[in-house]
Amino acid sequence: MIITDNEEALRVKCDDVTPEEVGELVVFLEQELEHSAKLGRPGIGLAAIQVGVPKKIAIVRMGKGYSFDLVNAKIEHGYDQARFLGEGCLSFPGRIEDTLRYQEVHITGNITYPSGMILEGLPAVVAQHEIDHYSNILLPDIALPKLKQKKPGPNDPCICGKINIMTGKAIKYKKCCMNKEKENGR
């Protein structure tokens, strides 16, 4: 069962995994990830610490071509840091946060990929998330402040993106959605 909303249990120091332990732990993590999906809480990654096993191992199951295991892995280099919008975690159900993540990572020390791995995009973000778990870094620790959305001014282009078909220009907010908001009492 995946540990939820219990930071103390999720911050236990994790030990290295031996090659002999890998197979059994991977099968166990896959079963827990499948069980979570059946309960209506699908995920694409799971670290052993999230199920009470203090070991440096995690699985990533993103479908064909992007399924891999992280065993004693660490991020050697990260490139192109950017705000990642909407990161979630099975251990914090319903919590969605913006985070600062590398768009490309070079992972070393992974005993299932001894020569190292280079990941980009979402696989890189998921790998960082799972490695964070067994490094005692949790989603609340790295959550960025929420971006404030500025309400458009009356003469700004409308937020719905409508275009005047005669001129090809954006319709002004005051002539479009601003009026609809007034009618709905917002």
Domain extent at residue 52? 7-142
Interatomic CA distance for residues 178 and 8, integer angstroms = 47
Predicted pLDDT at 120: 94
CATH code at 109? 3.90.45.10
Question: Is 130 among the catalytic positions?
Answer: yes
Match 């896959």 to its residue by tokens. Answer: 30
Q: How many domains does the chain have?
A: 2
Residues 137 and 163 in one domain: no
**pLDDT score recorded for residue 12:** 95
Clarify whether residues 95 and 121 are in a common domain: yes
Q: What is the pLDDT of residue 156?
A: 81
Same domain, 127 and 186: no
pLDDT at 121: 93
How sure is the predictor about 181, in pLDDT bands with cuts at 50, 70 and 90?
A: low
When pLDDT is cut at 50, 70 and 90, the band that residue 183 belongs to is low
Q: Tell me whether residue 1 is in a domain.
A: no
Among 57-66, 86-95, 101-110, 137-146, the least confident range: 57-66
Shortest CA distance to 129 belongs to which of 53, 184, 50?
50
Secondary structure, 3-state, 68-100: EEEECCEEEEEEEEEEEEEEECCCCCCCEEEEE
Which alpha helices (H) appear in the chain, and where do they start and end? 7-10, 19-38, 121-134, 139-142, 177-183
Same domain, 30 and 65: yes
Model confidence pLDDT, tens digit, residues 100-145: 999 999 999 998 887 889 999 999 999 999 999 999 999 999 999 8
Tell me, what's the pLDDT at 32?
97
Q: Say yes or no: 134 and 167 in one domain.
A: no
pLDDT at 63: 80
71 with 138, same domain: the answer is yes
Based on the fold, state whether residues 174 and 82 are members of the same structural domain.
no
Element (H, E) at 105: strand 96-108
- Options 8, 34, 130, 181, the catalytic residue: 130
Name residue 161's amino acid: G
| Beta-carbon contacts of residue 26 (< 8 Å; ≥ 6 apart) | 57, 59, 69
Within a domain: 2: no
- CA–CA separation, 39 and 60 (whole Å): 19
| In a shared domain, residues 17 and 105 | yes
Same domain, 73 and 115: yes
Residue pLDDT, tens place only, 31-45: 999 999 999 999 999
* Closest among 63, 71, 69 to 37, alpha carbons compared: 63
On whether both 36 and 115 belong to a single domain, the answer is yes
Q: Which residue has the tokens 């946060």?
A: 97
Tokens of 66: 């992007």
Q: What is the pLDDT of residue 48?
A: 98
Q: 94 and 134 share a domain?
A: yes
The residue behind tokens 């332990």 is 21
Res 161: pLDDT: 67
Q: What is the pLDDT of residues 152-178, one digit of tens each?
A: 778 887 766 677 777 777 778 788 777
Pairwise CA distance, residues 155 & 58, whole Å:
51
Per-residue pLDDT at 52 exceeds 80: yes
Residue 120 within any structural domain of the chain: yes
**Is 92 found in the same domain as 12?**
yes
